[in-house]
Amino acid sequence: MIKPLRKAVLPVAGLGTRFLPATKAMAKEMLPVVDKPLIQYAIEEARAAGIEQFCLVTGRGKTALVEHFDIAYELESTLRARGKQKELDALRSWHMEPGSIVTVRQQEPLGLGHAIWCARAFIGDDPFAILLPDDLVLSETPCMKQLADAYAETGGCVVAVTEVPREHTSRYGILDIGADDGRMAEVKGLVEKPKPEDAPSNLSIIGRYILRPEVIGHLAKMERGAGNEVQLTDGMAKLIGEVPFHGLRYEGKRFDCGDKIGFLEAQIAFALKRPDMAGAVKGFLKNYCADL
């Protein structure tokens, strides 16, 4: 019997140094794309996949992430008094169930694998999703819902993958694949940031995962990998052969919002999908691009 997917871990302890000075006093996950912060996009995507419980792996200066999902009684009262029902409804539309979000601290920046290990008590013996808010995916079906459907088929580990230029393999976790039907590829091996000449493929993992809880036992060994950090990729690799493991070629466009250019592109792409904004955005883009 395949256990239902109900939990998600969101590693959000990073300093966001690539966005300084904006992130000096503001969590990078609170940076807005159009009118919603990155962390909200991630939570909404997970909820669309049926996930009900969330663990934020935080660090110092990240309290705004938790407060964002709290009920702002004073703000709601003010909106109600001013007759701003549309804005009030927008706030209430994503209210979280009481007790559905917990936080744990990652006191030291020892890598993504270490961050996930910090959530071990939350994970327990259940399958869990991981969402990296820096990766924003624009798609008809939310990316995590696509992974959840694949998990329901296989019952094992599923990671979202996309093809990258071979010269960029040293930036990502790369799959060594077996059977491949064009949608899902069997994972035979995982390599963290291989040199192009050593990469077994050009299929790269993005920041969406569904993992079995057995990975925690491997991460607990605190074995250091690339960058002298505890790499999640190394822990996942230990599960290959123990449980079904697949890479899913998801439908959609991924934006790296940890990069300034990717963040700016996401602003435009998401605004163009908004009926209330698309016309105006196309208009000013024409003005800027006329001479290009």
Q: For 240-266, what is each residue's pLDDT tens digit?
A: 988 899 999 999 999 999 999 999 999
Residue 1 lies in a domain: no
Residue 36 lies in a domain: yes
Residues 84 and 170 in one domain: yes
Residues 26 and 100 in one domain: yes
Residues 248 and 282 in one domain: no
Residues 220 and 271 in one domain: no
What are the tokens at 209?
A: 């995962």
Tokens 């991630």 belong to which residue? 42
Domain containing residue 273: 260-292
Residue 242: predicted pLDDT: 87
> Which pLDDT tens digit goes with each residue over 207-242?
999 999 999 999 998 887 777 788 898 899 899 988
Residues 154 and 290 in one domain: no
Q: Which residue has the higher pLDDT, 56 or 180?
A: 56
Residues 160 and 274 in one domain: no
Alpha helices in the chain (DSSP H): 38-48, 63-68, 73-81, 85-92, 112-118, 120-123, 143-154, 215-219, 232-237, 260-272, 278-289
| Residue 67, amino acid | E
Residue 292: predicted pLDDT: 66
Residue 143: predicted pLDDT: 97
The length of the chain in residues reads: 292
Residues 98 and 191 in one domain: yes
- The answer, yes or no, to whether residue 76 has pLDDT greater than 80, is yes
Q: How far is CA 267 from the centre of its chain?
A: 17
Residue 192 lies in a domain: yes
Residue 16: predicted pLDDT: 82
Residues 121 and 219 in one domain: yes
| Residue 261, amino acid | I
What are the tokens at 150?
A: 């694949």
Count of structural domains within the chain: 2
| Under 8 Å between Cβ of 4 and 124 | no
- The answer, yes or no, to whether residue 47 has pLDDT greater than 90, is yes
Residues 173 and 284 in one domain: no
Residue 2 lies in a domain: no
Residues 127 and 236 in one domain: yes
| Under 8 Å between Cβ of 6 and 52 | yes
Residue 65 lies in a domain: yes
What are the Cα distances from residue 60, in Å, to 112, 157, 203, 208? Answer: 17, 31, 34, 24
Burial classification of residue 82, based on how many CB atoms lie within 10 Å of its CB (0-12 exposed, 13-18 middle, 19 or more buried)? exposed
* pTM of the entire predicted model: 0.92
Residues 276 and 252 in one domain: no
Residue 249: predicted pLDDT: 95
Which CATH number is 125's domain given? 3.90.550.10
User: Could you tell me the end-to-end alpha-carbon distance of the chain, in angstroms, rounded to an integer?
Assistant: 57
Average pLDDT over residues 181-188: 90
| Backbone CA torsion sign across 34, 38, 40, 44 | positive
Residue 279: predicted pLDDT: 93
